[in-house]
């Protein structure tokens, strides 16, 4: 490859990389709204486990 071809390849690679970064930033910044119903469904459960119900009485 000649120097001119290497330069063209380097410029195209740089433009591709720059476009990739810009589109990734735009994609990350886009906000998605979560409805109240979905928010209620995805709330975490209580991590405390009550083992008193598992104990058997003699």
Q: Is residue 14 part of a domain?
A: yes
pLDDT for position 33: 79
Does 2 or 46 have the greater pLDDT score? 2
Containing domain of residue 14, as a range? 3-41
Q: What are phi and psi of 21, to 5 degrees?
A: -65, -45
Average pLDDT over residues 45-52: 79
Residue 26 tokens, joined: 């735009």
DSSP state of 55: S
Residue 35 φ then ψ, to 5°? -65, 160
| 37 inside domain | yes
Whether residue 46 lies inside any domain: the answer is no
Averaged over 33-45, what is the pLDDT? 84
Q: Which residue in 14, 10, 11 sits closest to 22, CA to CA?
A: 14
Judge whether 50 lies within some domain: no
Residue 57 predicted with pLDDT over 70 = no
Give φ, ψ of 46 to 5 degrees.
-70, 125
């Amino acid at each position: 490859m000649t120097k001119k071809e290497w330069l063209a390849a380097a410029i195209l690679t740089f433009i591709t990389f720059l476009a990739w970064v810009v589109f990734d930033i735009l994609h990350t910044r886009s906000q998605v709204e979560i409805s109240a119903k979905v928010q209620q469904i995805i709330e975490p459960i209580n991590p405390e486990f009550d083992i008193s119900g598992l104990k058997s009485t003699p």
